[in-house]
């Protein structure tokens, strides 16, 4: 019998994973620890290594499928063990790396008696469309019912030719991209956040002139040492005291209890754009780091995010998130909460604009800060007080950025 590789328990709280990309195909020879498949979980994208040396007998899950932890996803013929795959495994083995083929079954025939094989998302779709899964013929691995099977059953067999004609007509003018991996996780998390939290956004202007000057004084020596110093690093350091003073913003809501959980420490998530989509690595305990150490950590995490090499622990434990729109930041935004956190801060472009200072109009470095909050936990007045406390620190950096804090 081939050795069965199950989706492992990847991390605390991870119950399922999405098969993003197979790195091997049936018939390939593999060595122990060689990566087999890329899997996306709620926490991170990880590669699952081979636990044995041998030959791939069959891939038992399609790319894009979401499978529970413990599900057999691949079988390997191990040297010294039975070489031939079981008939069932052979039926599932794809050719040249293609998706596993379904066993031949009569059209419109129901699945074999026993438990219906369908992922939770497929079951939810069937319930939404009023389709009885017991009457659907599965075209997935091992006869599993796919979302397309459910949609075909909901539309009826007579709709298939029309759908085929529509697809043929649309083919020259449209391109379809599967919603997989990180992009699908982003979509799920954003939808869950909007469905769960009571979002509202408060926006205020911040005069960054003094901070810009502080950074300009430090930047030459920082660059000489091969480092970097962004406004984001200043922001992370400035956030610590206001979050301590307003602990409801450094919290999460346990919806099951329900209870508001005040976090004992500050850990700042930094929303980072990558080719695959937005990911949120965490600067852990910035209070224990100097300004320059925070800047270095942000740079390191951003590089790892873009390279796809973030560790699981570097994505966990955030208590508050910052998202920066950079030089093309516009005037304001309404950031979506990084659930189950209750606050996220959007930072926009720092730009010279006319402002009134001591009755005189002069050029100042101004920006807007957009604070989105969960109104179930944070009232508007509390959110406003927090944001103005943060602005006060950003506008007067010399009052708290001592040499020891700068580093």
**Tokens linked to 90:** 């052979």
Helix (H, G, I), strand (E, B) or coil at 23: coil
Q: Who's near 1: CB < 8 A, 6+ residues apart?
A: 81, 82, 86
Decide if 375 is catalytic. yes
Q: How far is CA 315 from the centre of its chain?
A: 9
Q: Give the CA radius of gyration of the chain.
A: 26
Please answer whether residues 146 and 136 qualify as being in contact, where contact means their C-beta atoms are separated by less than 8 angstroms. no
DSSP 377: T
**How far is it, in rounded angstroms, from Cα 24 to Cα 61?**
13
User: Is the bond leading into 206 cis (omega within 30 degrees of zero)?
Assistant: no
| Residue 348, both tokens | 């926009």
Q: Checking phi first, is residue 130 left (phi over 0); if not, alpha (psi -120 to 50) or beta? A: left
Edge-first strand listing for the sheet containing 54-59: 3-6, 72-78, 54-59, 29-30
Q: Tokens for 154, please give them.
A: 């909901």
Q: Tokens in use for 310? A: 């973030």
The CA distance from 347 to 398, in Å, is 21
Tokens for 298, please give them: 């942000």
267 as an active site residue: the answer is: no
Cβ atoms of 293 and 407 within 8 Å: the answer is yes
Helix axes 380-395, 209-224, angle to 10 degrees: 60
Residues in the chain: 407
Distance CA 264, CA 286 (A): 13
Distance CA 306, CA 372 (A): 26
* Cα(129)–Cα(406) distance, integer angstroms: 59
- Among the listed residues 9, 33, 285, 375, the single catalytic one is 375
Distance CA 240, CA 15 (A): 33
Q: Which of 192, 379, 385, 398 is catalytic?
A: 379
Q: Cα–Cα distance between 233 and 229 in angstroms, integer? A: 7
Catalytic residues, which ones? Answer: 375, 379
């Amino acid at each position: 019998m081939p050795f069965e590789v199950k989706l492992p328990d990847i991390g605390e709280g991870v119950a399922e994973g999405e098969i993003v990309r197979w790195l091997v195909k049936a018939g390939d020879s593999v060595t122990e620890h060689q990566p087999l498949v890329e899997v996306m979980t709620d926490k991170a994208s990880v590669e699952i290594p081979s636990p044995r040396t041998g030959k791939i007998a069959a891939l038992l899950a399609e790319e894009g499928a979401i499978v529970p932890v413990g599900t057999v996803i691949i079988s390997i013929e191990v040297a010294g063990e039975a070489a031939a795959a079981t008939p069932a495994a052979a039926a599932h083995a794809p050719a040249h790396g293609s998706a596993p083929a379904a066993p031949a079954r009569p059209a419109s025939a129901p699945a074999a008696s026993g438990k219906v094989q369908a992922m939770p998302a497929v079951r939810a779709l069937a319930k939404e469309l009023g389709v009885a899964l017991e009457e659907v013929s599965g075209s997935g691995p091992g006869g599993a019912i796919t979302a397309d099977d459910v949609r075909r059953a909901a539309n009826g067999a007579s709709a298939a030719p029309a759908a085929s004609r529509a697809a043929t007509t649309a083919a020259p003018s449209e391109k379809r991209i599967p919603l997989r991996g990180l992009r699908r996780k982003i979509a799920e998390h954003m939808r869950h956040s909007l469905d769960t939290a009571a979002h509202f956004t408060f926006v205020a202007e911040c005069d960054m002139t003094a901070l810009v000057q502080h950074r300009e004084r430090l930047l030459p020596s920082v660059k000489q040492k091969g480092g970097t110093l962004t406004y984001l690093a200043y922001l992370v350091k400035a956030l610590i005291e206001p979050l301590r003073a307003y602990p409801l913003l450094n919290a999460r809501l346990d919806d099951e209890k329900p209870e508001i959980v005040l976090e004992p420490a500050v850990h700042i998530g930094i929303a980072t754009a990558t080719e695959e989509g937005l990911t949120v690595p965490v600067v852990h305990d910035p209070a224990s780091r100097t300004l320059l150490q925070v800047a270095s950590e942000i740079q390191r995490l951003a590089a790892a995010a873009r390279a796809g090499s973030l560790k699981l622990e570097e994505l966990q434990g955030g208590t508050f998130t910052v998202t920066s729109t950079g030089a093309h930041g516009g005037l304001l935004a309404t950031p979506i909460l990084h659930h189950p956190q209750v606050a996220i801060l959007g930072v926009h472009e720092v730009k010279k604009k006319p402002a009134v200072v001591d009755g005189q109009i002069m050029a100042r470095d101004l920006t807007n800060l957009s604070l989105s909050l969960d109104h179930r936990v944070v009232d508007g007045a509390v959110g406003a007080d927090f944001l103005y406390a943060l602005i006060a620190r950003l506008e007067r950096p010399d009052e708290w950025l001592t040499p020891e804090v700068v580093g």
